[in-house]
């Protein structure tokens, strides 16, 4: 479960020389092509052995990727250790300049969701341009470096991008005693319905990181009969929150637990008065100064959602339980050495059994790191190009733009203004 606390305001050092792009080498290489009845291969393997690729949709999606036959090479020294890579990416990755236009949505329970659109895109992009909704991790928002890098990459490919800031995240207003949680998909439904009704001619996709990935997959699995998305990608998803909780309290991982609970308590402290005026089940003092993420979730999160205990909350919020129900194309990317989203929690068998899902596991990458590829070490994560290959493949194969029948009922557009995201 990631968070903004790891994306601090440290100013990055001067970048190292950019690694020479490798795309020109691809022209001389052959590829692998799949059909419904046969598999034809040439001398080149479909993907490099350094990557683990599996899933029920491999035959459908593997032709979409341009560079998977190249070895996954983490940047020297930085990629040697999962903790070094995780912290390096959090503190030293460049943060692209992006100007946002904020739109606030009022939900049925009188809550508030903040959407950050890129300034000027509403006028400059056609109404049928594909749309990408970004779901940051725990306490994360539109200001985070990994979010902005994905946004910039998607915009360069003609996508309209909007960042979904969960309640309390990204300096969004809080109007009810409920903040971000792993299991509540109601806000995601509101956001997708609103975007669909606003751009009915566009195909809509979504990308979620860490807890945002867990929320996204929960939405896909629970709303499979009503999901209007055309495709999605989940990155460094903890999947099994019970395993993730146990892992977060082991050894050096305690540093992430402290950082994340610090971010949670910082957000909570701004809105504690809302919780003080409600029933006595909230432990406001523990929420203001939790010793662990688990203690915060016991004091605040599980109460707001009506769970009897924090263990009940975790066990009922695992996206691994609903992945089998996903009915749209879904790409899952995990790092084998992720210290926050342990690979042991990844539901490999369910992904293999779902004809709509594909799993890619990199040998290194840490959490929200993936400091590898042409843009390493200070540029975009290695995963950005992979995700865009996937989304462009889906968009290209879309027969025609989806006509939405969603009215957006229950969502009221609130205050809207311009702001410059600060880092």
Among 69-73, 313-317, 357-361, the minimum mean pLDDT is found in: 69-73
The mean pLDDT of 365-384, rounded to a whole number, is: 97
End-to-end alpha carbon distance in the chain: 21
Output the average pLDDT for the chain. 86
Residue extent(s) of CATH 3.40.50.1820 domains in the chain: 55-240+318-420
Alpha carbons within 13 A on the beta-carbon side of 327: 9
Banded pLDDT at 48 (limits 50, 70, 90): confident
Residue 15 has pLDDT above 70, yes or no: no
Tens of pLDDT, residues 318-345: 999 999 999 999 999 999 999 999 999 9
The mean pLDDT of 23-43, rounded to a whole number, is: 38
Considering only residues 13 and 118, tell me which one the structure prediction assigns the higher pLDDT: 118
Please tell me the predicted confidence (pLDDT) of residue 115. Answer: 98
Banded pLDDT at 25 (limits 50, 70, 90): very low
Catalytic residues: 210, 338, 367
Instruction: Report whether 212 contacts 4 (CB < 8 A).
Output: no
The residue count for the chain: 423
The mean pLDDT of 232-243, rounded to a whole number, is: 98
At 193, is the secondary structure helix, strand, or coil?
A: helix
Render the burial of 386-406: b for 16+ CB within 10 Å, e for the rest.
bbbbbbbbbbeeeeebbebee
- 285's CB contacts (< 8 A; 6+ apart) are none
Q: Quick one: tokens of 238?
A: 């903890």
The mean pLDDT of 145-166, rounded to a whole number, is: 98
The mean pLDDT of 255-272, rounded to a whole number, is: 95
Please tell me the predicted confidence (pLDDT) of residue 422. Answer: 33
Among 33-42, 154-163, 268-277, 348-357, the minimum mean pLDDT is found in: 33-42
Please tell me the predicted confidence (pLDDT) of residue 399. Answer: 52
Tell me the H-state helices in 249-403.
254-270, 272-276, 284-288, 293-296, 302-305, 310-315, 348-353, 383-397
Q: What topology is assigned to 55-240+318-420 in CATH?
A: Rossmann fold (3.40.50)
Banded pLDDT at 398 (limits 50, 70, 90): confident
Considering only residues 39 and 189, tell me which one the structure prediction assigns the higher pLDDT: 189
Banded pLDDT at 141 (limits 50, 70, 90): very high
Q: Quick one: tokens of 216?
A: 């996204």
Residue 29 has pLDDT above 60, yes or no: no
Residue 412 has pLDDT above 90, yes or no: no
Q: For residue 236, is it left (φ>0), alpha (ψ between -120 and 50) or beta? A: left
Please tell me the predicted confidence (pLDDT) of residue 163. Answer: 98
């Amino acid at each position: 479960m990631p968070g903004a606390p790891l994306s601090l305001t440290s100013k990055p050092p001067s970048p190292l020389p950019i690694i020479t792009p490798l795309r020109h080498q691809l022209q001389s290489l052959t590829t692998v092509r799949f059909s419904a009845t046969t598999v034809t291969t040439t001398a080149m393997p479909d993907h490099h052995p350094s990557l683990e690729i599996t899933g029920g949709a491999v035959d459908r999606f593997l032709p979409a990727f341009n560079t998977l036959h190249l070895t996954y090479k983490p940047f020297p020294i930085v990629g040697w250790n999962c903790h070094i890579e995780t912290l390096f990416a959090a503190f030293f990755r460049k943060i692209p300049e992006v100007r946002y236009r904020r739109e606030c949505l009022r939900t049925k329970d009188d809550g508030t969701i903040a959407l950050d659109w890129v300034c000027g895109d509403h006028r400059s992009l056609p109404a049928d341009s594909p749309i990408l909704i970004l779901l940051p991790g725990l306490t994360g928002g539109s200001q985070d470096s990994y979010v902005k890098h994905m946004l910039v990459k998607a915009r360069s490919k003609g996508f309209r991008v909007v960042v979904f800031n969960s309640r309390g995240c990204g300096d969004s207003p809080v109007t009810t005693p409920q903040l971000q949680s792993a299991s509540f998909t109601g806000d995601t439904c509101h956001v997708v319905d609103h975007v669909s009704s606003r751009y009915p001619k566009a195909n809509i996709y979504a990308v979620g990181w860490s807890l945002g990935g867990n929320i996204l997959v929960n939405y896909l699995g629970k709303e499979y009969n009503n999901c209007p998305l055309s495709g999605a990608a989940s990155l460094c998803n903890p999947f099994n929150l019970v395993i993730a909780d146990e892992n977060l309290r082991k050894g050096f991982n305690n540093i992430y637990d402290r950082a994340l609970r610090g971010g949670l308590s910082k957000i909570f402290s701004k809105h504690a008065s809302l919780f003080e005026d409600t029933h006595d089940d909230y432990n406001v003092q523990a929420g203001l100064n939790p010793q662990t993420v688990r203690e915060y979730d016991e004091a605040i999160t599980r109460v707001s959602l009506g769970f009897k205990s924090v263990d009940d909350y975790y066990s009922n919020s695992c996206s691994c339980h609903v992945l089998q129900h996903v009915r749209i194309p879904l790409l899952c990317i995990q790092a084998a050495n992720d210290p926050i989203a342990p690979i042991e929690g990844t539901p490999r068998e369910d992904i293999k059994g779902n004809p709509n899902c594909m799993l890619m596991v990199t040998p290194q990458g840490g959490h929200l790191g993936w400091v590898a590829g042409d843009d390493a070490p200070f540029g975009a994560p290695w995963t950005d190009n992979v995700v865009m290959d996937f989304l462009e493949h889906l968009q290209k194969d879309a027969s025609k733009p989806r006509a939405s029948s969603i009215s957006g009922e229950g969502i009221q557009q609130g205050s809207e203004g311009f702001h410059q995201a600060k880092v």
